[in-house]
């Protein structure tokens, strides 16, 4: 069987499996849109982050914990993030958070991950409008505060919107990849 023309590496950390479930949905959606198995999933608990360098297109998934902190596996490998050679890569980010329970820290880890990889010179795609959410503060907003720096999912309060958001974001990614 020939290799697919495009391959995407999706690397995520997930404590209670919500980010993992979203990762699986994103994988299924993109595979179905390309009609090929182009997305490989990697849980960073088991796989070195360095492996993301094998892909031209990378998706990172992260949840926020403990009042604006990184998900534990991302925290364990945080120094590695700054060592990644991402300059020629296209990177998209998504995050899981709780806009009501943690309204002052909504999706902070997504913002921290964005700020950690942005100086590498990678091309970041998949910015996402912040309409339809209610929260007090977030480190995951762009400077003009109109967008999240990646897809923002909240399975605690808006589980019914997750599939639609993933569907729309995957279409957006394909457009921004120029496919």
Ligand X SMILES: Cc1cc2nc3c(=O)[nH]c(=O)nc-3n(C[C@H](O)[C@H](O)[C@H](O)COP(=O)(O)O)c2cc1C
> For ligand X, which stretch binds (CB under 6 A), given 39-47, 50-58, 102-110, 123-131?
102-110
Cβ-proximal residue to ligand X, closest one: 97
> For ligand X, which stretch binds (CB under 6 A), given 25-33, 35-43, 98-106, 113-121?
98-106
Among 10, 49, 55, 68, binds ligand X (CB under 6 A): 68
- Strand 69-70, strand 147-148: pairing: unpaired
**What span, in angstroms and rounded, lies between the C-alpha atoms of 37 and 152?**
24
Q: How far is the CB of 96 from ligand X (least distance, A)?
A: 4
Residue 67 interacts with ligand X (CB under 6 A): yes or no: yes
Residue 64 interacts with ligand X (CB under 6 A): yes or no: yes
Residue 111 interacts with ligand X (CB under 6 A): yes or no: no
What does the per-residue mask of binding to ligand X show for 115-144, with x meaning CB under 6 A? ------------------------------
Q: How far is the CB of 101 from ligand X (least distance, A)?
A: 6
Residues contributing to the site for ligand X (CB under 6 A)? 14-19, 63-68, 71, 96-98, 102, 105-108, 155-156
């Amino acid at each position: 069987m020939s290799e697919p023309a495009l391959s995407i590496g999706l690397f995520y950390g997930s404590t209670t499996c919500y980010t993992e479930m979203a990762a699986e949905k994103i994988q299924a959606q993109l595979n179905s849109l390309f009609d090929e198995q182009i997305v490989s999933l990697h849980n960073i608990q088991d796989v070195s982050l360095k492996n993301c360098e094998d892909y031209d297109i990378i998706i990172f998934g992260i949840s926020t914990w403990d009042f604006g902190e990184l998900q534990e596996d991302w925290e364990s490998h945080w120094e590695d993030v700054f060592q990644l050679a991402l300059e020629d890569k296209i990177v998209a980010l998504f995050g899981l958070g709780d806009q009501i329970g943690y309204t002052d820290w909504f999706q902070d880890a997504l913002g921290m991950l964005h700020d950690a990889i942005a100086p590498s010179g990678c091309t970041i795609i998949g910015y996402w409008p912040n309409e339809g959410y209610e929260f007090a503060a977030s480190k995951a907003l762009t400077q003009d505060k109109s967008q999240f720096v990646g897809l923002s999912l909240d399975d605690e309060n808006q589980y019914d919107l997750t599939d639609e958001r993933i569907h729309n974001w995957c279409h957006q990614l394909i457009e921004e990849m120029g496919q």
